[in-house]
Amino acid sequence: MQRRQLLRQTALAVSAFSLSRELFAMTPAERRWVEGRGIPPADLIKLSSNENPHGPSPLARKAMADAVNISNRYQWDMNGVLRERIGALSGHSKDNVILGAGSSELLGLACTWAALRKGNVVASEPTFKLWMTASRRIGLQTKLVPLTATKHNDLQRMADTMDADTRMVYLCNPNNPTGTTATKTELEDFVRKVAKDRILLMDEAYTEYYDSPSVSHLVNEFPNLLIAKTFSKVFGMAGARVGYILAQPDTIKKLSECSAWANAGPSAVSMTGAMAALTDSDFVKLVKRENHKAKELFCQGLEKAGIPYIPSVTSFVYFDNQPYAKKIPELLATANIIGARAFEDKSTWLRLSVGTVPEMQKVVSLLQA
Ligand SMILES: Cc1ncc(COP(=O)(O)O)c(C=O)c1O
C-alpha cells in the first residue's frame, strides 16, 4: 500500500476515533473526573487502559459499518469462519478456538472451569487482575507471587508456589503492568513444568507489539494449556469486545460447556470487524511503528527527568515516581492527561499507557518543565 494512502487511512481512523470519544471512551470514574473539572471530553488525553490510540483499522471500521445490516440474524456461521481464520494464524483449526466478548470473558470462563474442583490459582503480583474478584467468588483462592527485583514474572517461584490444591496458574506474558517478557526458552520450560497436570492460562494480550515469544506452538502437546488473546490492543478494537482462547479441541469443548450458550461472545458486527482487521497488516505495522516511536520518546523523557523505568515490550511503561519532585499523576492532570496509576500497595511505581507521538510529547514536556 502507498504510504500516502496509509497516512490518509490513519488520519481517517484517528478523526473517527475523536468523533466517538464523547460517546463511550470513558469509564464512569473518568467521566466523573472530567465532569467535576468541566473539561470537554474531547480535550482529555486518556492513557489509562492500554487502548490503541490509532484504531480500529480503516478496513475494520468499514466492515463493521456494513455488518450493521445483518444484525437481525444470529452469528452462528460467522463464529465458525472467524475461529477458522484465527486458528490458521498459528497452524490450528477452528476447533482449537473459542471466541469471547473480549479475552476477559474467557479468562472468567477458564476460572469457572478451574473452580469445578475447589482449590487455588497461582499468579504474579502485580499482574492483570480484573478476573480475580470473580474467581474468588466462585471458590478459588489466590496465591500471589511477587515479581523479581527487575519486575519480571518470577517463574521459578511461581512453580514452587504450586501445591496439591493448585487448579490453575495464570501467567501474563508480556506482563501488565510492567511490560516485561520472559524468553522463549523460559516460557517453554514453564509450560512443561506447569501444564503437565494443571491448567496453565497464558495471557498473551500484548505479544504483537514487539513479536514477543508465544507458546501457541505447544497447544497440541498440552491439554491443559490455554492461550488467551485479544483484538483490543494492537488491532484497536477494545470496545468491539473480541477475544479468544486457543487450546486443544477437547479443552475448548469443556470451556464452552461452562458457558450458558454455545454462540455467546462477540456480536456479528464485532466479528466482521475482527475478520477485516486480520487482513489489514499495513495498519498493524503502522500501529507498531507509531507505538515504538511514542514509547521511545516517552522513555527518553523519563531518562532525562531522572525517572527510573522498566524497558517495555508493550503499549505501556512502568516507572518509579519516587526520585521525581512532583506527583506525576497530579502533574499530568494539569494538562488533562489521565492514566498514571499504581498497581502495587504503598508503591511509587506507576503505569502509563503509550498514546500517540504528540500525546507523549506533551507528557515529556510536562515532565521536563
Ligand atoms: C493482560 C490483559 N489481558 C486481558 C485484557 C482484557 O482484554 P479484553 O479487552 O480482550 O477483555 C487486558 C486489558 O487491558 C490485559 O491487559
CATH number at 122 reads: 3.40.640.10
Query: What pLDDT score was predicted for residue 10?
Result: 53
Alpha carbons 312 and 300: distance in angstroms, whole number: 13
CA distances to 148, 263, 271, 339 from 145, in Å = 9, 36, 36, 25
**Confidence band, pLDDT 50/70/90 cuts, at residue 41:** confident
Judgement on whether residues 161 and 215 belong to the same structural domain of the protein: yes
| Residue 177 domain-assigned (yes or no) | yes
Q: Would residue 326 count as lying in a domain? A: yes
pLDDT tens digits, residue range 319-332? 999 999 999 999 99
Question: Do 163 and 134 lie in a common domain?
Answer: yes
Instruction: Tell me the C-alpha distance between 221 and 228, whole Å.
Output: 17
* CB half-sphere exposure, 105, CA atoms < 13 A: 21
CATH of the domain at 359: 3.90.1150.10
Question: How confident is residue 5, by pLDDT bands cut at 50, 70 and 90?
Answer: low
Domain-embedded: residue 223: yes
Q: Are residues 178 and 81 in the same domain?
A: yes
CA 239 to centroid of ligand 1, rounded, Å: 11
Range of the domain at 354: 3-60+281-368
Please check the confidence at residue 13 and state whether its pLDDT lies above 70. Answer: no
Q: Which of 48, 131, 206, 230 to mutate to test the pocket of ligand 1 (most atoms within 8 A of CB)?
A: 230
User: What's the gap in Å between 51 CA and the centre of ligand 1?
Assistant: 10
Check residue 280 and give left, alpha or beta (phi > 0: left; psi -120 to 50: alpha): beta
Average pLDDT over residues 61-85: 95
Contact assessment for residue 315 and residue 348, using Cβ atoms and an 8 Å cutoff: no
Summarize the confidence of residues 217-240 as an average pLDDT.
98
> Is 146 a member of any domain?
yes
Average pLDDT of the chain, as a whole number: 93
By alpha-carbon position, which residue is closest to atom 3 of ligand 1? 205
* Last residue of one domain, picked from the residues 246, 279, 312: 279
Minimal-distance CA residue to ligand 1 atom 12: 205
pLDDT of residue 95: 98
Q: What would the mean pLDDT of 90-97 be, rounded to a whole number? A: 97
- Residue 100 pLDDT level (bands cut at 50, 70, 90): very high
Choose the residue to mutate in 111, 231, 232 for probing ligand 1, maximizing ligand atoms within 8 Å of C-beta.
Answer: 232
Q: Tell me, yes or no, whether 197 and 90 share the same domain.
A: yes
19: pLDDT strictly greater than 50: no
| Cα 28 to ligand 1 centre (Å) | 18
The 10s digit of each residue's pLDDT in 306-358 is 999 999 999 999 999 999 999 999 999 999 999 999 999 999 999 999 999 99
| Model pLDDT for residues 125-177, shown as the tens digit of each residue | 999 999 999 999 999 999 999 999 999 999 999 999 999 999 999 999 999 99
**CA–centroid distance, residue 13 to ligand 1 (Å):** 22
Confidence grade of residue 29 (pLDDT, cut at 50, 70, 90):
confident
Name every protein residue with a CB atom under 6 angstroms from any ligand 1 atom. 49-50, 102-104, 128, 172, 176, 203, 205, 230, 232, 238, 243
The C-alpha atoms of residue 57 and residue 18 are separated, in whole angstroms, by 14
45 and 113, same domain (yes or no): no
- Clarify whether residues 151 and 209 are in a common domain: yes
Of 251, 279, 307, which residue constitutes the final position of a domain?
Answer: 279
What is the predicted pLDDT for the residue at 262? 84
Q: Do 298 and 201 have their domain in common?
A: no
The last residue of a domain, from among 233, 251, 279:
279
In 115-267, where does DSSP find H-type helix?
A: 132-137, 155-161, 184-194, 249-257
In a shared domain, residues 74 and 42: no
CB atoms within 10 A of CB 115: 20
Residues 51 and 75 in one domain: no
Same domain, 51 and 81: no
Q: Is residue 17 part of a domain?
A: yes
Q: Long-range pairs for 19-28 at CB < 8 Å and ≥24 separation? A: 24/239
Residues 133 and 39 in one domain: no
pLDDT of residue 17 exceeding 60: no
pLDDT of residue 31: 80
pLDDT tens track for 187-206: 999 999 999 999 999 999 99
Q: Prior bond to 177 cis, omega within 30?
A: yes
Share of the chain above pLDDT 70, in %: 93
Domain total of the chain: 2
pLDDT of amino acid 1: 46
Atom number in ligand 1 closest to CA 103: 10
* Domain contains 65: no
User: Of the spans 13-22, 69-78, 163-172, which averages the highest pLDDT?
Assistant: 163-172
pLDDT at 185 over 50: yes
